[in-house]
Amino acid sequence: MKILITGRYGQLGSELHDLQANYPQYQIVFVDREEMDLSNADQIIEVLDKEQPNVIVSAGAYTAVDKAESDQQLCDAINHLAVKTIGDWAAKNKVKVVHISTDYVFDGNSETPLKETDTPDPINVYGLTKLKGEEALQTSGAVYVIIRTAWVYSTYGANFVKTMMRLMNEREELGVVADQIGTPTYARDLAQAIMDVISAQNFVQGIYHYSNEGKISWYDFAVAIKEINGYTTKMNAIASDAFPTPAKRPNFSLLDKTKIKDTYSVQVPNWRTSLEEMIAKI
């Protein structure tokens, strides 16, 4: 079986690249924007025609959430139109697609963990383009699994954990938003979940939610980073309206993982365990 994975140098793509040694039975091809520019539909089709994969992992995305508010056309091209192109090609060629989406398809007003059946209602451009990508894949006729995730971090790329570690090294005091609730996702764990889905005996089509276990705020996350590293930085809990950003963020992003655990027997580690593992690797 041949697997083509987009977003090679992203956080998730990098973790999937590390995992490939554990799956010698598969031929895995990685592409990034140099090989397959997701804003160029013709190039997407050209690469897929050449590689002829059996499974496409759509891990590449436009993820600059604030920049997306002013860069709507490119964001839509990558997060929506590219997914439509991949889905249409996959349907025509009878190929499976595993597509990575986001908690940002929701408005953040829920008070209970978000299920796959909950109605999406994005509050920013990034979330809207990701939802349109999901819908395009669902209507393409391709056999698909969509995995929504949240608060992704990794030893690779730029992310909250690395930013906090840098700031805690530089500053004596930090304010972190305490009224946005969810659970972080260690990209290594998500990469393993994706490989579990691909390797499963039955490919059960549908939307699934995946993040690490637990329920915390960004402030709680930052405090844990401080504790694990032994920093002495004074941490202040602040409200999100004290830290305005171009794109609105959902206040509640806690994902219910029951479906992916029941369907694919995916193991979901606790957020703190995974954070300690990631920091130890750095």
Q: CB–CB of 152/187 below 8 Å?
A: yes
Q: Residues with catalytic annotation?
A: 126
Q: Tell whether the torsion through CA atoms of 55, 60, 62 and 63 is positive or negative.
A: positive
DSSP at 83: H
Q: CB–CB of 83/142 below 8 Å?
A: no
- Nearest alpha-carbon partner for 149 in 6, 253, 276: 253
- Nearest alpha-carbon partner for 237 in 256, 258, 215, 220: 220
